[in-house]
Amino acid sequence: MAVNVAVVGATGAVGDLIRKVLAERAFPVKTIKFLASEKSAGKTVEFAGKQHTVELIRPEAFTGVQIVLSSTPSSVSKQYSPIAAKAGAIVVDNSSAWRMDPDCPLVVPEVNGDELHNIKKGIVANPNCVAIPLCVALKPLHDIGKVKRIVVSTYQSSSGKGATGLVDFDAQLKAFASGGPVPAPTAHRAQLAGNVITLDWTLDPNGFTEEENKVINETRKIMGDASIGVCPTCVRVPVRVAHCESITVEFHTPVSVEVAKAALAKAPGVVLMDELKGQFPQPIHAEGTDHTYVGRVRQDPSNPNALCLWVVADNLRKGAASNAVQCAEELVKRGIVK
C-alpha cells in the first residue's frame, strides 16, 4: 500500500535525513511533500531523483496526507501535530512534546511496536536518542530475566546538538589540532575538542539534566514497566556522530552471559560483537547505519543478578530519523494507516 507522506521540518538535520532514509528503505510513497518554516519555504530538496519545492507549514498543507514525519522544535510540534492529526494523518513526531503524553504511544518498533495500535490522538512519539538504543539492547534481556534496575552512562556525540553542534565542534577541533586558540563554544556549553562535558543540557531541579530525566521516564514507558529503576549520567564527548552507552543492568533473576549473548544475537535491530574475536562496538561502526551495536557483555562481579554491556548507535539515524521511518513502515504493514 502506497501512502501520501509529508515531512515537516524537512530542511533540518533530522528532516533531511528522514528524506534520505525514506528513499534508502524504499518506503511506499504515493505522494510526498516537504514542509518547513518561512525561513526555508521555497527552497528545493531532492527525493527519488526529483526536485521538490519546500512548502510553508500551514493547516491546508496536511489535506489528504496519511503519514506525517515531523522533526521540529517542541513548540512548533505542539501547534501543528494536532492540526495534522485532525486532518486525518498519523503523525510520527520527533520532538519531546508528546513523549510522556499518556494518549501518545512512545515507540521503538523492535521493542513495543504493538503500541501503534493504541494511537488515541493521532500522534506517535519518537523517543530520545539515548532511550531508543538502550531499549533495543535491553528488550531481549528483559524478556528473559525481567529488568529491575539500569545504571547507564552515556558518551554522546556533538551531532546530538544538531547541525549547530557540529559547526561548533568542528571549529574547535580544527583550532585544537593546529595548536591555535580554540574559539569560544556557541552550541555546546564548554569546549568539546579535547574535552568531555557533563552538563551540556539544562539542569532540572532534581539535580539531573533534562536529558537524563528523559532517559529515566522514556525508558520506563517504552519498556512498559514503571517500576524499573533508571540512573543515568549523560556526557558529551568529542565525537561527531553516534552515541555510546555503558550499561549495568540488574535483573530480578540471574541471566548468564551465554544466555544473554544468545538472545542478543537473534534480537531484531541488534548487531552483537564478540570481544573474544577482538570485536567491540565503536561510533565508526554505527555511523550511517540503522543497527544497535552491542558488545563487552560480561557478568557484574559485584552483583550475581547483573550484567554489564556496551552499546553504540547512530543518534541521527536509529536515534531519530530511521526509528521514525520504521514506525511509519509498521503503520503501513499493520494496516493502521487508512
| Cβ 44 vs Cβ 64: under 8 Å | no
Give the angle subtended at the CA of 327 by the CAs of 316 and 97, to the nearest 5°: 70
Q: If residue 152 lies in a helix (H) or strand (E), which one and from where to where?
A: strand 147-156
Chain length of the chain: 338
Return the exposure string of 30-60: e unless at least 16 CB atoms fall within 10 Å of the residue's CB, then b.
eebbbbbbeebbeeebebeeeebebbebeee
On whether the CB atoms of residues 129 and 319 are closer than 8 A, the answer is: yes
Residues 247, 250, 254, 260: what is their CA dihedral angle, to the nearest 10 degrees?
-30
- Please calculate the CA angle 92-98-104 and round it to the nearest 5 degrees: 70
Q: What is the H or E stretch that residue 51 is in?
A: strand 50-53
243: annotated active-site residue: yes
Strands 147-156 and 243-251: antiparallel
3-state secondary structure 230-251: EEEEEEECCCCCCEEEEEEEEE
Which of 243, 291, 308, 327 is flagged as catalytic?
A: 243
Please report how the helices 131-145 and 210-223 are oriented relative to each other, as an axis angle in degrees rounded to 10. Answer: 40
Active-site position among 104, 129, 234, 308 = 129
Q: Which among 53, 13, 14 is positioned nearest to 35, based on CA atoms?
A: 53
**Grid cell listed for 43:** 527552497
Q: Catalytic: 129?
A: yes
User: What's the angle, vertex CA 125, arms to CA 311 and CA 321, rounded to 5?
Assistant: 55
DSSP state letter for 305: T
DSSP single-letter state for residue 298: E
Task: Say how many C-beta atoms besides its own lie within 10 A of residue 75's C-beta.
Answer: 10
Active site residues: 129, 243
